Amino acid sequence: MRQLVFRRVTSNGLIMTGGIIVVIIVLLTTFGPMVISRGPLELNIQDRLQGPSGDYLLGTDNYGRDLLSRVLHGARVSLFVGFAVAILSTVIGYIIGMYSAYFRWADAILMRICDGFMAFPAILLAIALMAVLGAKTSNVVIALTVVFTPYVARVVRSSALVVKEQTFVEALRAQGASSNRIIWLNMAPNVVSPAIIQATFIFADSIITEAALSFLGAGVPPPAPSWGNILLDGKTLIFNNPWMTIVPGAAIILTVLGINLLGDGLRDLFDPHTGKAVRKGGGRK
């Protein structure tokens, strides 16, 4: 079985491509700052707005700070936020979705709350929550968890409703099994795959949303490096020093691309028929 799974994973081009991109970014984020001698907050006013050179591989920003150092340290923030939001929203959404699928009274309450949150655009709801909580990295995680949890709950609920109608669930009820045992020991393992796939897409969406919040001044507060506030610093200098915009923008694109490819590959691995239908229909909605 392990050999079969290994062959299916290695033969899946989406998983391999996305996985390689993500691994490279994680390695650069983890070990890159150890190699660079300059810190992300170190100011060198006399070297401000320099282009790529031997001293500064990706140039400097408007305060003379090493752009490469800031991008690598900003990657830590973005990856931390994305990973934390993906884990928290998946766990909370999993619980909400399972109970909503099994109990009608819970479905009537919890899904209406989720519908209320999903009625707002994600970025607007995140901005509103950050206005209440305040600009702080931990608050970004909380706000984005609130934003993305309903999406996981919806996916888990729809999959759990299908499992709930299976014969083995009726048999367990007839034998007197408790509701919690049926939900978590028998139904929940059959809903893991769609939850994992949804978590990868939330990981990517969280990175984009965090960058947007920081760009708008509602995310990670400066001078702490973040891809979003690096873009904010470079927006007025895009013609004089385009590297301040190109470098963090490319980092966001590559990271999100790698995670989305990985998620698409996992979807094809767990449910090949769905992946083929999506590609035949013109892409993922």
Identify which has the larger pLDDT, 266 or 92: 92
Q: Please give the distance of CA 4 from its chain centroid, rounded to a whole number.
A: 29
Give the model's confidence band at 231: pLDDT under 50 very low, under 70 low, under 90 confident, else very high.
confident
Asked if the peptide bond before residue 223 counts as cis, ω within 30 degrees of 0, the response is: yes
Asked if pLDDT for residue 49 goes beyond 50, the answer is yes
Amino acid present at 126: A
The pLDDT assigned to 147 comes to 94
The pLDDT assigned to 241 comes to 81
Asked if pLDDT for residue 189 goes beyond 50, the answer is yes
- The CA-atom distances, in angstroms, between 10 and each of 13, 154, 264, 274, 279 are 7, 31, 14, 20, 20
Helix, strand, coil % in the chain, rounded to nearest 5: 75, 0, 20
What's the CA gap between 37 and 13, in Å, rounded? 37
- The CA-atom distances, in angstroms, between 221 and each of 49, 207, 214, 231 are 22, 16, 7, 13
Asked if pLDDT for residue 284 goes beyond 80, the answer is no
Q: Which residues of 14-26 are buried (b: 16+ CB within 10 A; e: fewer)?
A: bbebbbebbeebe
The pLDDT assigned to 271 comes to 66
Which residues on neighbouring strands pair with residue 60, listed in sequence order?
66
Question: What is the pLDDT of the chain when averaged over all its residues?
Answer: 84
**Residues 117-175 pLDDT 10s:** 999 888 899 999 998 888 888 899 999 999 999 999 999 999 999 988 888 888 888 88
The pLDDT assigned to 5 comes to 67
Give the model's confidence band at 8: pLDDT under 50 very low, under 70 low, under 90 confident, else very high.
confident
Number of neighbouring beta carbons within 10 Å of residue 62: 15
The pLDDT assigned to 110 comes to 92
pLDDT above 70 coverage of the chain, percent: 93
Contact 86, 200 (CB under 8 A): yes
- Of 28-37, 103-112, 172-181, least confident by mean pLDDT is 28-37
The pLDDT assigned to 279 comes to 45
Instruction: Provide the angle, in degrees to the nearest 10, between the axes of the packed helices 13-35 and 243-270.
Output: 140
pLDDT above 90 coverage of the chain, percent: 29
Give the model's confidence band at 277: pLDDT under 50 very low, under 70 low, under 90 confident, else very high.
very low
Q: Which residue has the tokens 């003379």?
A: 64
**Residues 238-260 pLDDT 10s:** 887 888 888 888 999 999 999 99
